[in-house]
Amino acid sequence: MFRPLIQGWKRLPAPVSVLSVRSTSNGSNCRLTLANKVAVVTGSTNGIGFSIARRLAQDGAHVVISSRKQQNVDRAVATLKEEGLSVTGTVCHVGKAEDREQLVATALESCGGVDFLVCVAGVNPLVGSTLRSSEQIWDKILGVNVKAPALLLSQLLPHMENRGQGSVVLVSSIAAYIPFPKLGVYNVSKTALLGLTKTLAVELAPKNIRVNCLAPGVINTDFGRVVRTKGKKLRTSVFQPPLLSPYRVGQPEDCAGIVSFLCSPEASYITGENIAVAGWSPHL
């Protein structure tokens, strides 16, 4: 297990220095750590994905926004452009091969290459028993949450390889560690992403492409509101972590800085990690 990663590590270059700067509202300069880079972010018109897209663009990357609905793509692109950020967008339902192809084509047309892939899109169409879940439900959840990131990455990989380095961030969930009741198939899909991260990190280390994973806790988004409502029983019975004080629900922005960091040269020696962003740690 250790040996292949070591072989990959030998090829990882030292971090490069970054000179680009941006003036902030208070007049000070901040470094644009992702200048001249291109990021593809799935599920990025709302919630966690939108916040990640905004942050990557604020840190200097050109970001390709995507999700299933054209009106959401248009709104997200317009909002970020109004903020002076460099973004393009296209419709991409990650479960559809032709949409993934269109996403890759959009990234290449507008930017000529891709440095980062952040896979945020995820679904949970069922609240109920794991063993009573239909085959259709299993296929839908595993297809969108697990298969799609791997298939999209395989389509983007030649273009990331051309750049000589790259960073991939998958978005799992704290449910990967502590299963939410009645979200069984979703829990399984998110646990699978932890394994996918480690497997891809080993496979892609020789290509100098790093693969890491975020495991958000309950975050204040449309999706998070459903989990908060349905997960009440979990929080009062099983899930009593040492939450940071004062208690607060996570915000999408809590997930954004860490993704920017994982894409930046500062993280060039980090791969194969699953990082909880939850106000607590499942490893405690």
- Binding ligand NAP by CB under 6 A: which of 33, 38, 41, 49? 49
Q: Rounded to whole angstroms, how far apart are CA atoms 267 and 282?
A: 22
CB 238, min distance to ligand NAP, A: 16
Beta-strand runs (E) in the chain: 21-23, 29-31, 38-42, 62-67, 87-91, 116-119, 166-171, 209-216, 274-277
Residue 221 binds ligand NAP (CB under 6 A): yes
Query: How many CB atoms are located within 10 Å of the residue 169 CB?
Result: 29
- What's the N-to-C CA distance of the chain in angstroms? 25
Residue 95 binds ligand NAP (CB under 6 A): yes
CB 213 within 8 A of CB 197: yes
In this chain, which stretch among 67-75, 79-87, 129-137, 268-276 interacts with ligand NAP, using CB under 6 A? 67-75
3-state secondary structure at position 168: strand
Residue 120 binds ligand NAP (CB under 6 A): yes
What binding mask, one character per residue, do residues 142-181 give for ligand NAP by CB under 6 A, x or -? Answer: --x--------------------------x-x--------
- Binding ligand NAP by CB under 6 A: which of 33, 42, 260, 274? 42
Task: Enumerate the β-bridge partners of residue 167.
Answer: 116, 210
CB 233 within 8 A of CB 182: no
Active-site residue flag, 269:
no
Residue 219 binds ligand NAP (CB under 6 A): yes
> Binding residues for ligand NAP, per CB under 6 A?
42-43, 45-49, 67-69, 72, 92-95, 120-123, 144, 171, 173, 216, 218-219, 221-224, 227
Catalytic center residues: 186
